[in-house]
Structure 1
């Protein structure tokens, strides 16, 4: 990212007390910032990392290799889509997208291969081919996906309603949504089919929300599948183009983004925000918008009586999954190596819950892996990084496997830690080279990240990548709203809505609506004018 659009935080920086201070520069925080700045609010963004963007940023290594850390593809980004129009608005028309084509995803489940193609009728016909005896079940599934859309939309909208209105109609909208949210994905699919292979194929992309069918809420599954129903897209220039273009726009709106700005805690007095501690120094302020995640906000940034555990009734609201990631650099172009644009979901068997259960890496075998080819998806890659290409392989793990290394220094965690990472690398490469044996001689660089890497750079305390778990209890939690019980404290980010770039962006809009209310109408008119902007 061009550094002139953001600054390193220094102790001499000061804020007006009425400035809206946004903690975290992920897409939720950036979205909120644009809408508030456009409405004439004073806004600053604080990022503890050395670059803005949260999970939308990229990192570089020697020989020109570069990888995304969280954005592997985005759905609903056709030229006339509403989401495309919103990103045009956020980036001031600078952000461009490349379509991944068909298939955009491929799943290997046991010895079967399934392609996922854009368009609901194309999807239907493709699955008719795979499961000719299950056409009625496929039709029922697609009907349930379609009928879930309004329920989810109204559920999220009620989160931004003024308290009196939300008190009156919120229960009705939440009850309406509960018909899909309180049941697991498996329960819903099992209600109309007993074909376990069909269920596996329909849920093979479950890594997009981090839970297998018997654990995930059908509401989460439906939103994510609907999001990708028209195919996958990738930011031209790489994932970093998302924060780069939005931060540039914020600079034009006189909104500063500061890096190396670690927020220690939020100070409250008499149930309202009175200050914020940044890099050990206290600054007076009246308004804080936390994009640091709900668990981080309530258990780390708040102190005293406000430091609470998130629960759904008497059930603890868990953090989402942690992961390993193998970053691979190759010394030939993706064209020369014939790398695909599509992502690969690799499952050892059709029992996805078993594949994604706790497992040992000692056997050097993975029951699940996700493979992404970022250089192939980006039409600008070959100009920036000629004669190279990149791959990422992600596998599930648990933070508890790494707790013994928490107090060690990054890059100096010892031999046992290095062995854990090497075991994952061996297992991940085994899957890759089974699919593409010709790649072995082209591999020039490898590096593995663990949940401790995620914790260090994102601040998520157990290395979780999707915030709050996407189990049914997520949707009954009453604290996951833009407005908190503390005056002047707001939340934004994926925990308010759902995982992913689209989910986090939507949360930013909901938080902005909560703050500036009816003044959003002018901005929505401007967005509408950009829906057809390519």
Structure 2
């Protein structure tokens, strides 16, 4: 899946950092966003990326036959031209990042053969679901009301993460207590209090793959944030997901920020409870300010000396990583228009017991898929047709358990053995069978098909269990006080989706929190500029 970007500098052993340099470890959107805000405030920033191109899960990859697929960003919500989120991304990309609306429906759920459309706009959503479930209109209205109420509490919960000690233990304590009403109940707990219609619950949870946890395990607070995020529809980066990191990286270059590739951080060096340096590519370098965008588990349990951890960090060992997945990448020899492929995403479930499906330990060995998320990246991108007139792409994602792939984690990439290859081949056959069931016109037009697994994700993201969403979005996650930008180690900060929430916009929001912790009131100046000029 290699796509070389020649314009990025490689890290060399003679590189040095000043005492004032903020060294960001990891170039995912959390790190890139943090860098923009810091650089705009006049701070010296350097970003280190272990791979050959920055961007984290905003990567895309190509094959020689011209096919391109995204690996993490399949769609984003709240990107209407006048939205605050759109303005922030305009600021980060210097107005170069553009978006295509998916239109309506933007998501379609198939549950036990029945079709349900998700349309943009709260009132449109209400009317659509009233038509699907006319006996449950009160439950649907109550659900929408709870989404609003939970989201207001969520905002206060995340804001208190940047409070100084005194405020954190007074006002912040109140915010956290109010938030527990939503965060400490599962999605199923809340929905089953509104209705006993299991089909309605299944449909309302059909998009749960966006946060990677089934209804009986996920925190309702996480569910509410993600569902509200897409309430006004879905959007896709014009030109592909890679345009996100390309435009932001280009902007960072004009701000004097170095993005250095092939820079694997092996260790964060501390003296007492202060940062003193980094081990990069097995060599020590002195620096005093580090912002880790590598995930909470990697930072505290792998990069730091365990002696510097405090008792409260022990809870991290009990917090599980999020879900892992299998992905089928399909290349077609005809255009999306010719094949009549949609722009919307598909959430396909064999039946209405979402928890049984997503937590099935035997799913890998079964003859048919019971769950799939299907995306059409070429159909979503308005620029695709001008580049590939007779090509189209599809991605099909299904749930996986890392335990089934652990034995292959130390095997070399592209050469993990016959057993591993057979697992991929079996998944490929099941995925293609489902695609042809939904779209019979694909017959004889599939010219490329390959599969990635949780150990592929581990190789490219350095997430130890092949997870894609950092920490699992359980109620326990929201009780963890160490998931904030500022750590107890002087000079060490955190950014990324673990301190906020899943996804592109969750990780971007972490950049706002981390930068706010460091540059404080300068952030208010920047936000005034964003809201006024972008």
Smaller-chain TM-score range? over 0.9
- Of 356-365 and 230-239, more deviation after overlay is shown by 356-365
- Of 304-313 and 159-168, more deviation after overlay is shown by 304-313
Report the secondary structure of 2:52's partner residue: coil
Pairwise CA distance, 1:430: 1.5
Report the secondary structure of 2:483's partner residue: coil
Report the secondary structure of 2:103's partner residue: coil
Pairwise CA distance, 1:386: 2.5
Is there any run of 5+ residues in structure 1 with no aligned partner, and where?
A: none
- Does structure 2 retain, via aligned residues, the 8 Å contact 1:21–1:287? yes
Structure 1 residues 304, 212: closer, same or farther in 2, change over 3 A? closer
Pairwise CA distance, 1:3: 4.0
Query: How many pairs were matched up?
Result: 531
- Of 139-148 and 312-321, more deviation after overlay is shown by 312-321
* Structure 1 residue runs of 4 or more that deviate by more than 6 Å after TM superposition: 308-312
What is aligned with 1:348? 350
Q: Which of 440, 443, 447 matches 1:444?
A: 447
- Of 517-526 and 466-475, more deviation after overlay is shown by 517-526
TM-score scaled to structure 1, two decimals? 0.97
Question: In 2, distance between residues paired with 1:502 and 1:312?
Answer: 28
Q: Which of 352, 366, 371 matches 2:369?
A: 366
- Does structure 1 retain, via aligned residues, the 8 Å contact 2:5–2:52? no
Question: In 2, distance between residues paired with 1:11 and 1:378?
Answer: 40
Report the secondary structure of 1:29's partner residue: helix
Pairwise CA distance, 1:241: 0.3
What is aligned with 1:516? 519
TM-score scaled to structure 2, two decimals? 0.97
Alignment of 1:364-403 (within 5 A): 364-403=367-406
Question: In 2, distance between residues paired with 1:309 and 1:350?
Answer: 42
Question: In 2, distance between residues paired with 1:64 and 1:307?
Answer: 48
Report the secondary structure of 1:205's partner residue: helix
- Of 118-127 and 161-170, more deviation after overlay is shown by 161-170
Question: In 1, distance between residues paired with 2:311 and 2:80?
Answer: 40
What is aligned with 1:128? 130
Pairwise CA distance, 1:525: 1.1
Report the secondary structure of 2:173's partner residue: helix
Alignment of 1:481-520 (within 5 A): 481-520=484-523
Q: Which of 177, 192, 204 matches 1:175?
A: 177
- Of 201-210 and 522-531, more deviation after overlay is shown by 522-531
Structure 1 residues 270, 309: closer, same or farther in 2, change over 3 A? closer
Alignment of 1:85-100 (within 5 A): 85-100=87-102
Question: In 2, distance between residues paired with 1:181 and 1:130?
Answer: 28
Q: Which of 33, 56, 68 matches 1:66?
A: 68
What is aligned with 1:407? 410
Structure 1 residues 310, 107: closer, same or farther in 2, change over 3 A? farther
1:464 aligns with 2:464: no
What is aligned with 1:297? 299
Report the secondary structure of 1:346's partner residue: strand
Report the secondary structure of 1:59's partner residue: strand
1:118 aligns with 2:120: yes
Question: In 1, distance between residues paired with 2:504 and 2:438?
Answer: 29
Question: In 1, distance between residues paired with 2:66 and 2:311?
Answer: 43
Question: In 2, distance between residues paired with 1:452 and 1:434?
Answer: 29
Pairwise CA distance, 1:530: 3.8
Question: In 2, distance between residues paired with 1:110 and 1:186?
Answer: 19
Alignment of 1:234-253 (within 5 A): 234-253=236-255
Q: Deviations over 1:440-468 (max 9, x none)?
A: 21111111001111001001001000000
What is aligned with 2:268? 266
Q: Which of 513, 516, 527 matches 2:530?
A: 527
Report the secondary structure of 2:395's partner residue: strand
Question: In 2, distance between residues paired with 1:309 and 1:72?
Answer: 39
Alignment of 1:5-44 (within 5 A): 5-44=7-46
Pairwise CA distance, 1:364: 2.6
Question: In 2, distance between residues paired with 1:373 and 1:228?
Answer: 18
Q: Which of 153, 157, 160 matches 1:158?
A: 160
Question: In 1, distance between residues paired with 2:5 and 2:345?
Answer: 31
- Does structure 2 retain, via aligned residues, the 8 Å contact 1:158–1:173? yes
Q: How much is the aligned-residue C-alpha RMSD, in angstroms?
A: 1.5
Q: Deviations over 1:31-77 (max 9, x none)?
A: 00000000000000001111110001111112111100000000000
- Does structure 1 retain, via aligned residues, the 8 Å contact 2:16–2:286? no
- Does structure 1 retain, via aligned residues, the 8 Å contact 2:4–2:53? no
Question: In 1, distance between residues paired with 2:318 and 2:42?
Answer: 39
Question: In 2, distance between residues paired with 1:3 and 1:352?
Answer: 41
Pairwise CA distance, 1:166: 1.1
What is aligned with 1:224? 226
1:256 aligns with 2:258: yes
Report the secondary structure of 1:276's partner residue: strand
Structure 1 residues 312, 303: closer, same or farther in 2, change over 3 A? closer
Report the secondary structure of 2:498's partner residue: coil
What is aligned with 1:433? 436
Question: In 1, distance between residues paired with 2:47 and 2:528?
Answer: 26
- Of 308-317 and 479-488, more deviation after overlay is shown by 308-317
Question: In 1, distance between residues paired with 2:131 and 2:32?
Answer: 43
- Does structure 2 retain, via aligned residues, the 8 Å contact 1:95–1:242? yes
Report the secondary structure of 1:25's partner residue: coil
Question: In 2, distance between residues paired with 1:367 and 1:161?
Answer: 44
Question: In 1, distance between residues paired with 2:250 and 2:306?
Answer: 38
Is there any run of 5+ residues in structure 2 with no aligned partner, and where?
A: none
What is aligned with 1:143? 145
